[in-house]
Amino acid sequence: MKELKGKKALVTGGAMGIGLATCKRLLREGCEVTVWDMNPTALEDARRELSSLGTVHTHVCDVTDKPRVLELCRKAEADMGQVDILINNAGFVKAGRFCDHPLEDWERETDVNLTSMYYTIHSLLPGMYRRNLGHIVNLSSSAGLMGVADLAVYCATKWGVFGLTEALRYEALRDKKNGIKFTSVHPIFLKTGMFEGGTLNILGNILIPSIETHDEVAEAIVERGLKKNHHVIKLPVTLHLIFIARALLPDSAMNVLARIMGIGNSMSHWVGRPGSEHARR
């Protein structure tokens, strides 16, 4: 199991939800942590809370602003000496039929959920390569494993995150950089926060229950991802059923299974995080 004490971590979207819970766990492990978030009020609240746990640096950052991201990557390296752990957590969701929203909504979702990871990884991975040491954790989703109605672009970005993470892992292995690890994380709906109100039906929740707290995901990131180097983390573990079903069932049967589990209606009662751009307007 990997020792995290003394490691230097950068967490995007770290002022709320999964990001904040992950920062708390990293600090308790003895890490020094840099936190980015685009919400200055939430970031200040997080700074006050996290400062009691260890050394923390906070910066307001919209991860779609490439010059700002590159500037703050250099700042993180200067403040902490290096970045050993990168947690690409920042996310955005807009639910609804694909053609019922302007393209600008989908471009924004793509920029936050996927393109921003190009910026952080491209900036920080070379330093990890030089040291042959580092771990990049990219937040994907259960929607990165199976298509979900009313989440077409969200699914596209999270499938992209899955593929990006896997491809970078294989590149590092081919380059004999065995000290650099990559993990993608795929949680099902959380009951609070950005996906509040999203849920499968009764049968779907029996097979793949929703996640109760953000800390459940944070625990998996730290304990299974960073410490044990799990390449792909699915929450709950019954998400493995999707891969098994895809391998064994014809497409027509998969379509029936998706309807039976309520995947087509899972966003019908979505409200998102109240008071944020992730909430239904």
Q: Along the chain (281 residues), what's the average pLDDT of each consecutive run of 10 residues?
A: 92 98 98 98 98 98 98 98 98 93 97 98 98 98 90 97 98 98 93 63 72 95 98 92 86 82 63 49 21
Sheet holding 32-37, edge to edge: 56-60, 32-37, 8-11, 85-88, 134-139, 180-187, 232-235
The per-residue b/e assignment along 54-88, b for 16 or more CB within 10 angstroms, e otherwise, is: bebbbbebebbeeebbeebbeebbebbebbbbbbb
For the chain, the domains span 8-265
Choosing from 119, 129, 154, 170, which is the catalytic residue? 154
Instruction: Quote the pLDDT of residue 262.
Output: 66
Nearest to 278 by CA among 215, 197, 159: 197
Instruction: Quote the pLDDT of residue 267.
Output: 62
Instruction: Quote the pLDDT of residue 17.
Output: 96
Residue whose entry in the numeric block shows the structure tokens 């970005």: 157
Q: Which fold has domain 8-265?
A: Rossmann fold (3.40.50)
Locate the DSSP E strands across 28-161. 32-37, 56-60, 85-88, 134-139
Instruction: Quote the pLDDT of residue 279.
Output: 38
Number of H helices, E strands in the chain: 10, 7
Give the separation between CA 218 and CA 236, rounded to whole angstroms: 13
| CA 81 to the chain's CA centroid | 25
Helix (H) or strand (E) holding 246: helix 240-248
pTM of the model: 0.91
Instruction: Quote the pLDDT of residue 206.
Output: 72
Give catalytic status of residue 129 as yes or no. no
